[in-house]
Amino acid sequence: MQKQGQLFTTPSLRKLSQRWAAQQAEYSRVQEGIVSQAVAVARTYTKLMQQGGRLLAEADVFLSLAHVASALDWCCPTLLDDENGGKRELHITQLRHPVVEAALPSASDFIPNDVHLSSSSSTTITTGSPASRGSCLSLVTGPNCGGKSTYIRSVGVAVLLAQVGACVPAAGMEWTLVDKVLCRVGASDNQLQGVSTFMAEMLETRALLAAATPRSLVIVDELGRGTSTFDGFGLAWAVAERLAGSVALQCRTLFATHFHELCEMEKALPPGRVQNLHFSAETPTPTSPSSSPTELTLTYQVRPGPCDRSFGVHVARLAKFPEEVVREAQARVEALQAEGAQGLTPEQQRRLAVKKRELEGEERRLQKWAKVGERERRCKVVAALAALPPLEDLPLGEALERVVAVAEGGAIG
């Protein structure tokens, strides 16, 4: 080849080039055939590989859950008979939040608490804690950062783990099946769609009320924060009353709030509907004029009864608010309390008493109708049994089928 780029060849070089091209084409053809054969053979193992992948995934899930349960001292929950939906129980002893517990320097730093939700007025459990009175709605009050949100969310996590067949982060758990876990927590908005934080809260609450059934677990955290105090209280009361006061619903509910006036609902509704719980906090008595009387110590322990005061100003002090702002806020709070801004008026108390009597009367009527319906059903069963032909004249299998059909309310041919 010259510098000008001209090519010089000979007949023998052309033959070698043709042979090389032919060999290259043959190599590509054979290679494609081998690849096609390999793919065809591998295709026959597709289903086996998919089944193997699913088995490995299941084994990974079960082994991971077993390892966590063993390493973190989780317990195996006990499923109770719900008696065709007539019994709705949830009892957890020494419940912990697995994520919060894992984030602490030591697992012993997490303070566990008990949970008791029941559609009946009383229940006896066997998970290691004494018998406890339960209700279908637990109204949880207490200071900010005191543990309310962690407590109610840990219940949702425990129920979810129990219903997938896993152990739970607690000392013991007994529960009847839950058909869905409905939550109204946090705060968010959607500016592009014109949905404000409060509107998003209302939309989520509407969906919750529409989807809730007697077997549902409902978790509500701080409903009514995005509007005025009176509007927020009214909405929170109406939603809580719907969940606990409706005879047709009465689903297991955890309702965290800072509206202390809601605690009056325990007296306004029939017994067994609402129980007041609170997370305790301590404000020690000052030992000297120079010590601050507003120091706040959070115990993270849930106790029966309502919280007797708010601790918003104390939490602001913990957040290092300017001292003059804290003093002004405290002065405003004391002025409002002196004017009697808290508590229900006599007219509100009268209305609550009337509502309570109406609910009790409705419940008595429903119970009476249920007894009447049960008697009618038994009479129909007896009449159907009497109408059967002599069972000794029928084959054994047919006789059993007819008796079972009568017992289950089936038609008699």
* pLDDT tens for each residue of 120-129: 533 433 433 3
Can you read off the two tokens belonging to residue 67? 């390892």
What rounded mean pLDDT belongs to the chain? 81
pLDDT value at 342 more than 50 = no
Structure confidence by residue, pLDDT tens digits, 213-254:
989 999 999 888 778 888 888 899 999 988 888 777 889 999
pLDDT at position 248 is 74
Selection from 81, 18, 112, 46 nearest residue 302 by Cα = 112
Q: CA distances (Å), 190 to each of 53, 220, 224, in order?
A: 40, 21, 18
- How confident is the model at residue 107, as a pLDDT? 74
- 117 sits in which H/E element: strand 113-118
Q: What is the pLDDT of residues 157-201, one digit of tens each?
A: 999 999 999 999 999 999 999 999 999 987 777 777 888 888 888
Nearest to 155 by CA among 113, 105, 212: 113
CA distances 324 to 209, 291, 316, 317, Å, are 43, 17, 12, 11
Helix axes 396-407, 346-387, angle to 10 degrees: 160
Three-state DSSP class for residue 236: helix
Q: Give pLDDT, residue 157.
A: 95
pLDDT of residue 370: 66
Instruction: Please give the class, per CATH, of domain 81-283+293-310.
Output: alpha beta
Chain centre distance of CA 403: 42
Tell me the domain boundaries of the chain.
81-283+293-310, 362-407
Nearest to 275 by CA among 297, 304, 298: 304
Buried b (16+ CB within 10 A) or exposed e, 218-241: bbbbbbbbbeeeeebbebbbebbb
What mean pLDDT is predicted for residues 72-101? 89
Averaged pLDDT, 242-267: 87
Average pLDDT, integer, range 369-379: 72
The pTM assigned to this predicted structure is: 0.69
The type of residue at 84 is: N
What is the per-residue pLDDT across 282-323, written as a single tens digit (0 to 9) for each? 776 655 444 445 577 788 899 999 887 777 887 788 888 888
Rounded distance, CA 201 to CA 117, Å?
A: 25
Q: What pLDDT score does 191 carry? A: 78
pLDDT recorded at residue 76: 94
